[in-house]
Chain A
């Protein structure tokens, strides 16, 4: 099993540009989570999906952030337009079932907005 796969590993962009982060969860997992990690705020849950449906997006900081999960094997997190304060490491995680509390994290995308 390849685990949760995120791309790109690093993204450097200029303020105002659109950024798209990608995630492929573990096959068979039906829950997917997007987290953001910063020194100041630690690990924050942005949004999660169950069976490809967004359930709770209360952690999404602003309307500039959006997430989709068009199918069970792919999700995107988009920031448009990006701002320097969006610089962080963005993690995707997946989980098998609601009764299995164990989260599997990807290696993250390091985003730098200049």
Chain B
């Protein structure tokens, strides 16, 4: 079965510092991995995806994610956090055989303090 885990309910960083939001996956086969962001009272917005190729994926708003096969991880990163990055972040994996099923993690609340 496909699944992702986000081990941290909350991450606190100071503005200007680098941030990392962690995600690990459990997938049989090659994973299709995603990051989404949810701002208050809004739906989820796509940030980036990993399908194949370069292990470092760049996405929206200066975010990037690093795919690490040996550690089965897909951590979201940003070199310099902004207060406006404060939101809920979800990691997701697409179903291996059912391309219409996406399995989301429990979400990590990112707090960026001025």
A interface residues (Cβ-Cβ under 8 A, vs B): 4, 31, 33, 42-43, 45, 48, 50, 55-56, 91, 93, 98, 101-108
Q: Does B41 contact A (CB under 8 A)?
A: yes
Interface residues contributed by chain B, number (CB under 8 Å): 22
B interface residues (Cβ-Cβ under 8 A, vs A): 32, 34, 36, 41-46, 49, 51, 90, 94, 98-102, 104-107
Instruction: Please name all residues of chain A whose beta carbon is closer than 8 Å to the beta carbon of B94 when the two chains form the complex.
Output: 101
How many residue-residue contacts, CB under 8 A, span A and B?
A: 51
Q: A42-B106, A101-B34 are in contact. Are A108 and B43 (CB under 8 A)?
A: yes
**28 contacting pairs across A/B (C-beta < 8 A):** A4-B43, A31-B100, A42-B104, A42-B105, A42-B106, A42-B107, A43-B44, A45-B101, A55-B100, A56-B100, A56-B101, A93-B44, A98-B99, A101-B34, A101-B49, A101-B99, A101-B102, A102-B46, A103-B36, A103-B44, A103-B46, A103-B102, A105-B36, A107-B42, A107-B43, A108-B41, A108-B42, A108-B43
